[in-house]
Structure 1
Amino acid sequence: MEIYNEIGYDLLDSRHNSMTSKLEDLPRVTLFEHTEAGTVHLKNLSIHSASTTDEALNLLFMGDTNRIIAEVSP
C-alpha cells in the first residue's frame, strides 16, 4: 500500500497491470477506525500470503515496481 496526499493505493491489487499510467488509476484503500473497539479496518486492500522468503520478496518487488510505474508517469 502507498499513501499519497492522504489517499491509500493498493500496489498489489490483481486488477492492476503494468499499463497503469497514473497513481490515481490504482485501487483506493479506505481506512475505517472503530474507536470504541480500538480497531482499524482497511477496505479494498488485497491480502497475499507468502510461504517462503522468495514469495515475500516477490510481493515486495511487485509492489515496488507498481509504485515506480505510477510515480514516473505524467
Structure 2
Amino acid sequence: MGRKDSFNRGSNLETYRKRIGKQEYQRTKGAVRTLKDTSDAKQSALGIKEVLLVLVAILVLISSVYLLFVYLFSKA
C-alpha cells in the first residue's frame, strides 16, 4: 500500500522541479507592466526607415516643383 501512494505522487525531486518551474515563470504586476510598456514603445516608435522615406518624399516633391519652375521660366 505504501508503494502505490508514493508511486502516484511522484518523487521528491520531481515535485521540487515542478515547484521551481512554477516560480520561475511567475512575474509581478510591475514586471508585466514594464514589459508591456517597452513592447508598446517599440511598436509605436517611428523607425529610421519611415523617417528617411518621408524626408526623401519631401525632397522629391520640392525638387520636382523647382524643376517645373525652371522649365517654365527658362522659355520666357
TM-score, with structure 2 as normaliser: 0.31
Higher strand share: 1
**1 or 2 for the larger relative contact order (CA 8 Å, sep ≥6)?**
1
Larger Rg: 2
Higher helix share: 2
